[in-house]
Chains A and B, each alone.
Chain A
Amino acid sequence: AQTVTQSQPEMSVQEAETVTLSCTYDTSESDYYLFWYKQPPSRQMILVIRQEAYKQQNATENRFSVNFQKAAKSFSLKISDSQLGDAAMYFCAYRGGATNKLIFGTGTLLAVQP
């Protein structure tokens, strides 16, 4: 079975600084996709960034980028120039090419200090 692990329950960053959230996963599938979702206090789930496992190039979306290490099964999220609006729960998620199930980690609560 596929699993997703987020080992940092809480993180804190100063405004304008950079922070990295960690995620590891376990799978025997060769075709899969990885995602980071943001959940602000409103409870809305917002897709931040996605990565295809077959692509070596790390995905980037404005201030958000990932460090995808396929052999290590690691998928970390880097937030640059942190803003107060980045404060939220962040979930790492896995989706297999065969099963199509979306599986989440336990989340990292990010606080942004002014």
Chain B
Amino acid sequence: DAEITQSPRHKITETGRQVTLACHQTWNHNNMFWYRQDLGHGLRLIHYSYGVQDTNKGEVSDGYSVSRSNTEDLPLTLESAASSQTSVYFCASSARGPNTEAFFGQGTRLTVV
């Protein structure tokens, strides 16, 4: 069965370190998204991609970067982790078209100490 997986599930890192969260999907979806979930804020869009070599900034992109070198993967990099980036991160993917269902990974809980 097709799926979308995130790794790691949990991570603790120190302030100032670079951290990369992995997202891999086997749906062959063009669209991929990264969100962070915080209490009282819901899911906020960090970055998104419509296809290989395409990346776009979301509403909370400062301090994060992504790259899309193939269809399956959209890794999220925190260039210099800050305590404000402690959160639960979700990756999602969908086929082309705004009416298509987005499928989500199981989330990564990141703690920056």
Contacts and interface: CB of A to CB of B under 8 A. Distances in A.
Size category of the A interface is: 20 to 34
Among B31, B48, B102, residue most surrounded by chain A Cβ atoms (within 10 Å): B102
B59 to A, nearest CB: 8
B101 A91 contact: no
Interface of B: 31, 33, 35, 40-45, 48, 50, 58, 88, 90, 92, 94, 96-99, 101-102, 104, 106-107
Nearest to A42: B106
A52 B90 contact: no
A103 interface: yes
B107 A95 contact: no
Contact of A52 (B43, B50, B58, B99): B99
A101 B104 contact: no
Contact of B58 (A9, A43, A47, A101): A101
A100 interface: yes
Given A43-B106, A45-B92, A91-B42, A100 B101 contact: no
Interface in A7-64: 9, 31-33, 43-45, 47, 50, 52
A100 B98 CA distance: 5
B43 A44 contact: no
5 contacts: A33-B99, A45-B92, A91-B42, A100-B50, A100-B98
A69 B106 CA distance: 33
Contacts of A52: 99
A102 B102 contact: yes
Nearest to B88: A43
Residue picked from A9, A102, A104, A106, most chain B C-beta under 10 Å = A102
Contact of A96 (B41, B42, B98): B98
Nearest to B107: A43
B98 A95 contact: yes
Given A101-B48, A102-B45, A106-B41, A44 B104 contact: yes
A104 B92 CA distance: 13
B42 to A, nearest CB: 4
A58 B94 CA distance: 23
B90 A103 contact: no
